[in-house]
Amino acid sequence: MKKLLLFLLVGITVASCGDDDMKTPVASVHLNMRAVYDGQPLVMYQAYTYPDGSLVRFQTFNFFISNITLLGEGDTPDAELSEVEFADFSNNTTLAEAETPQAWHFEEVPTGTYRGIQLNIGVPASLNNADAGNLDADHPLRQHFTTHFWSDWKSFIFVKSEGIYDLDGNGEFNGSDQGFEHHPGKDEALTQVTKLMPITLAEGGTFDLNLVADLLKIYVKNGDALDLSDPENSNVQQASDLPLMLYLMGNWEQALSVE
Amino acid sequence: MKKLTFLALLALVGMFACKDDDNPKPSDGVDLTNIAYNPTPHELVIPPGFPSMNIPADNPLTEQGIDLGRRLFYDPILSKDSTVSCGSCHGPAGNFTDNKALSPGVGGLLGTRSSMAIINSGFLSKGMFWDGRAPHLEAQALGPVENPVEMAEKWDDVEVKLRNHADYRTRFRKAFGIENSNEITRDLATRAIAQFERTLISANSKYDRKKYQLDPDPFLFSDLETDGLKIYFDDQFGAPGAPVGHCAHCHDGGPLLTSERYENNAITEVASLADFPDKGLGALTGKLTDNGKFKAPSLRNIALSAPYMHDGRFQTLEQVIEHYSSGGHYADNVITGSITNLNLSAYDKQALLAFLNTLTDTTFVNNPAFQNPFH
């Protein structure tokens, strides 16, 4: 966002010095995101089938996306749309809610030809500390400081995925099933995702970029699903859980797609 | 010349006569403009590790505003029969609770929920009350006055009482620059109370000294307390079979010790999600899966604010720890990744209790600036 502002500022200054007609032409980018499970709209508290045939259910799914950037092509420089945003699908308890994407509107994006979008899942290292709590009240990192800052690691939790796995296989959920709480978040777990696609922004136009986050795909690597029946895999919160954290974060390139 | 003077005089008298007619009757309020309005900005000291405080642009802290707010907070004038003040249910000795399961309001009537601690509340941003229904402190302070089981009064009447009160007239003038006593409103009263509440900052527990003030004393925490901290934060570094309590998943938020999550912590046994006697968040959102969810409050000074939970059902922290160790009662909206049978040993429970006791900050509850000014 800052970069974008700078770019605009320079643009405006240049425009005001020179030809009166010269203005930085801009367009709007609407970033829309839906969450799904194996392609189906992700409804919280609804049972889905895990690859091993057991039932699984989620009650929380949210994450930070950061350095959201359109990658410039040719003469068009990269344009950063936003430094940090927060995506939260935890309140989608009906199909209608799950089908309605979360939307971010970025106005005044320089026109041009872009070759794709790049973003990080997580919080950039420069902001990933308690000082982020001092940002403006409406900054996503201040808004979600209490819920997502894990003071023991001095890091934000990048992704929260919480739910329950039908351990006893009786087709319903109860207290003896395996709850899980996957909370990866540490500088080394910041994950970059790149989606290449032609994006042409014409002056005054609006470009809709529709992303889909498939929660199941975070749990699957090379066709193998994480063993949710293993209690060792139920939580990501200790230093020793780093391998599991990196496993979950490493699957985001496939979990996020453009539709 | 004489004629002119006469005419001028006449006009003047006429003017005065007119003015006389316009003069305020006593019920039209008291002019306060002869009282100096010169508010002193209050510099909040934000302790290390704390996030910023959300102070509304239209309610900056001033010494005069805070002082007025403190008086209103402790003054039973806000209640119908002058028996109950905010401080009756939120007393400093009990970490700004009343140490009762349910709090008696006017006439001894009991509500259905336990009083909540007011501590570092100015830093919170995800709602006030057990169900988060008030967005901020100003909005929260409107509620108790007209609540029939709390102060049972009408704000209209409170406004009249405050306007007729010479000392409050002066104090509202000094805090907010009003020109007439009729400008005393509930809006200003709740702003003043919120200003006072924003100064209720606690940052001086043993835990703060260890974690945020970086006290170099290696023996500041006993082994028991250190083990309790590890259980609280799941900080076991993979030691096999090491106990984890998962507490920080709902009670972290850095030094605030609340993650401001609204959750069902499995204290109530229900046949289905529709059956919670107090639906909590669900009553607000209308979502079945929100039933039985309540704010996970700050655990700062928790040793001072018994009894515990939204209905005050647990008398001691031992009982609370016993509850979490057992995992409580499963329901479909419990986060069973955290709230599950923890299998804590007797030692683990002792350690957790010892850690919770390091969260006590007596300098906060004894701070002279926070006490009842009428005592």
Of A210-214, B82-86, B233-237, the poorest mean pLDDT is in: B233-237
Q: Which residues of B touch A240 (CB under 8 A)?
A: 236-238
Worst-scoring range by mean pLDDT, A130-144, B25-39, B132-146? B25-39
In the numeric block, which tokens belong to residue B362?
């007596």
A residues 28-67 closer than 8 Å to B (CB):
44-45, 59-60
| Closest chain A residue to B238, measured at CA | A240
Other CB atoms within 10 Å distance of the CB of residue B42: 16
Using CB atoms within 10 A of its CB, is residue B63 exposed (0-12), middle (13-18) or buried (19+)?
Answer: middle
Query: Which residues of A are less than 8 Å from B327 in CB distance?
Result: 175
CATH homologous superfamily of B17-202+366-370 equals Cytochrome c-like domain (1.10.760.10)
Determine the distance in angstroms separating the CA of A80 from the nearest CA of chain B, rounded to an integer: 26
| Domain residue ranges in chain B | 17-202+366-370, 206-359
Q: What angle do CA B133, B138, B140 make, to 5 degrees?
A: 35
Q: Which residues of chain A does B50 touch, with a Cβ-Cβ cutoff of 8 Å?
A: 133
- ipTM value, please give it: 0.89
Which residue is listed with tokens 């309001």? B105
Chain B interface includes A143 (CB < 8 A): yes
In chain B, what residues touch A133 (CB-CB under 8 Å)? Answer: 50-52, 254
The per-type count for chain A, helices as H runs and strands as E runs, is 7, 17
Calpha distance B48→B27 (Å, rounded): 50
Cα nearest neighbour of A147 on chain B: B259
Shortest CB distance from B332 goes to which of A60, A147, A173? Answer: A173
Name the residue of chain B whose CA is nearest to A231's CA. Answer: B337
The angle, 0 to 180 degrees and rounded to 10, between the axes of the packed helices B346-357 and B317-326 is 130
Q: How far is A259 from chain B (nearest CA, A)?
A: 30
Q: Report chain B's mean pLDDT, rounded to a whole number.
A: 92
For the domain covering B206-359, report its CATH number: 1.10.760.10
What confidence tier does B100 reach under pLDDT thresholds 50, 70, 90? very high
Q: Give the residue from chain B lying closest to A137, CA to CA.
A: B54
Residues in chain A: 259
Give the model's pLDDT for residue B1: 41
How confident is the model at residue A23, as a pLDDT?
76
Mean pLDDT of each 10-residue bin along chain A, 259 residues long: 46 44 86 98 98 98 98 96 98 98 97 98 96 93 96 94 97 95 95 97 97 98 95 82 93 97
pLDDT of residue B326: 97
| Six-digit token string for A188 | 């080394």
- For B255-279, what is the mean pLDDT? 98
Residue B7: is its pLDDT beyond 50?
Answer: no
Over 60: is that where the pLDDT of B163 sits?
Answer: yes
Label the pairing between strands A47-49 and A55-72: antiparallel
Contact B246 A133 (CB under 8 A): no
Q: Flag if B335 and A174 touch (Cβ within 8 Å).
A: no
Question: Shortest Cα distance from B55 to chain A (angstroms)?
Answer: 9
Token couple for A5: 């502002």
> Looking at chain A, which residue has its C-alpha nearest residue B339?
A179
pLDDT at B6 over 90: no
Weakest mean pLDDT among A18-22, B115-119, B169-173: A18-22
- pLDDT for the residue A19: 45
DSSP state of B180: B
- CB of A247 within 8 A of CB of A226? yes
Shortest distance between the Cα of A174 and any Cα of chain B, in A, equals 7
- The chain B residues in contact with chain A (CB within 8 A) are 49-52, 54, 123-126, 211, 233-238, 244, 246, 248-249, 252-256, 258-261, 287, 289, 327, 329-330, 332-340
Q: Looking at chain A from residue 173 to 202, which residues have their Cβ under 8 Å from any Cβ of chain B?
A: 173-175, 177-181, 183
Diameter over CA atoms, chain A: 74
Rg (CA), chain B: 26
- Compute the average pLDDT of residues B137-158: 96
Most B CBs within 10 A among A147, A234, A240, hence the mutation to make, goes to A147
Q: Judge whether residue B25 has pLDDT over 70.
A: no
> A130-187: per-residue pLDDT in tens?
999 999 999 999 999 999 999 999 999 999 999 999 999 999 999 999 999 999 999 9
| pLDDT tens-place string over residues B274-330 | 999 999 999 999 999 999 999 999 999 999 999 999 999 999 999 999 999 999 999
End-to-end distance of chain A based on CA atoms, in angstroms?
A: 25
**Distance separating alpha carbons of residues B78 and A246, to the nearest angstrom:** 56
Tell me, what's the pLDDT at B240? 64
Of A179 and B10, the structure prediction assigns the larger pLDDT to A179
Q: What is the pLDDT of residues B33-69, one digit of tens each?
A: 999 999 999 999 999 999 999 899 999 999 999 999 9
pLDDT score for B54: 87
Across the interface, of A136, A162, A238, the residue whose CB is closest to B238 is: A238
